[in-house]
Amino acid sequence: MKRLRTAAGLVLFSALVAVPLAWLLLPAPPPLPALYPMPDFALTSEQGRPFGRADVAGKVVVANFIFTSCPTVCPLLTAHMAKLQERFADEPRVHLLSFSVDPRNDTPEALAAFGRRYDQDPARWTFLTGDAKAVEQAVVEGFKVHVGGANDPDATAFDIVHGEHFVLVDPRGMIRGYYQTGGGGLEALAADVERLLREEIP
Q: How do beta strands 94-100 and 125-129 pair?
A: parallel
Q: Does residue 194 lie in a domain region?
A: yes
Q: Does residue 169 lie in a domain region?
A: yes
What percentage of the chain exceeds 90 in pLDDT? 72
CA–CA dist 41, 26 (Å, integer): 41
Q: What are the Cα distances from residue 11, in Å, to 15, 16, 17, 37, 54?
A: 6, 9, 10, 52, 57
Q: Does residue 8 lie in a domain region?
A: no
Q: Does residue 31 lie in a domain region?
A: no
Nearest-10 crossing angle of helices 185-199, 74-87: 40
Cβ neighbour number for residue 28 with a 10 Å cutoff: 5
The pTM score is: 0.83
pLDDT in tens, 62-117: 999 999 999 999 999 999 999 999 999 999 999 999 999 999 999 999 999 999 99
Q: Does residue 79 lie in a domain region?
A: yes
The CA-based diameter of the chain, rounded to the nearest angstrom, is 86
Lowest mean pLDDT among 26-40, 125-139, 153-167: 153-167
What's the domain count of the chain? Answer: 1
CATH code for the domain of 135: 3.40.30.10
Contacts of 154 (CB under 8 A, 6+ apart): none
Domain of residue 68: give its range.
Answer: 36-199
CA–CA dist 3, 78 (Å, integer): 62
